[in-house]
Amino acid sequence: MREQRPRYHRIADDLRGQIERGELEAGEQLPTEFDLVERYEASRNTIRLALRRLTEEGLIIAGQGRGSFVRHSLTPAVWDWSVLESRARHKSDDNGDQWSSIVAESGRQPRQEVRVSIRRPPTEVAERLQLDPETALTVVRERVRIVDQDPYALADSYFPEELVRGTPLMLPEDVSAPGGVLASVGLVQARYRDEITVRMPTRAEIEKLSLPSATPVAVHMRTGYDENDRPLRVMITILPGDRHVIRYDVSAE
């Protein structure tokens, strides 16, 4: 005999189907708990479990004391890491930030909120920059990357302080230069090492990125090296799974 699924699962399935078919549109308020209790002839607790299931799937959001609403889905941004920060793009005549340029080329509006500080690097960054985490200082450029008014990603870059002291990288604003800011001050990145992990977001990341419940993030850590294999920079990018496609082109040779 087939095991019957919990009642709240079936109610969630029905509401999910209405959202997927467009019967409940983005931004539209769901019926009240009282109305759902009557419609499905279920207890209030069962209805709440069904709504929680949809919230955890990122389909609805709960307004404080205002009921539940169908969540607006964000158009995915494509992060092509085989192109972003490539030497070919650095050699172009475009004097703008590469990320901003790529977003603009897709017909969307990019913006970055920048904060600069000088502080001790976290252990994982110190290891990759070959620095002593207890004595070394790094210049940290923290950026909230915004697409069409929505926060899409966080990008924190760490530089050994002694290498970038007095350069434009110390300025608390969007900076760019032909060939890249590092290269413009004589620090040319010859290769990168990428590391990608996936985890649940921290509380700070949830707040900065306005993440719905149960949204995982990809953590992309890129270490840039010069031609002598000296590490110049570590960039950590937080990419929410509900608004990004990560793309690579890899040669088969």
Instruction: List pLDDT tens digits, range 145-200.
Output: 999 999 999 999 999 999 999 999 999 888 877 778 899 899 999 999 999 999 99
| pLDDT 10s digits, 198-249 | 999 999 999 999 998 789 999 999 999 999 999 999 999 999 999 999 998 8
pLDDT number for residue 181: 87
Domains belonging to the chain, first-starting first, are 7-70 (1.10.10.10), 77-247 (3.40.1410.10)
pLDDT grade for 1, boundaries at 50, 70 and 90: very low
Report pLDDT digits (tens) over 106-133.
999 999 999 999 999 999 999 999 999 9
Q: Is the pLDDT of residue 10 over 70?
A: yes
Q: What is the pLDDT of residue 87?
A: 65
> Which tens digit of pLDDT belongs to each residue from 50-72?
999 999 888 998 876 789 999 88
Please tell me the predicted confidence (pLDDT) of residue 97: 76
pLDDT at 93: 47
What backbone phi and psi angles, to 5 degrees, belong to 152? -110, -35
pLDDT in tens, 83-113: 787 766 555 545 557 888 889 999 999 999 9
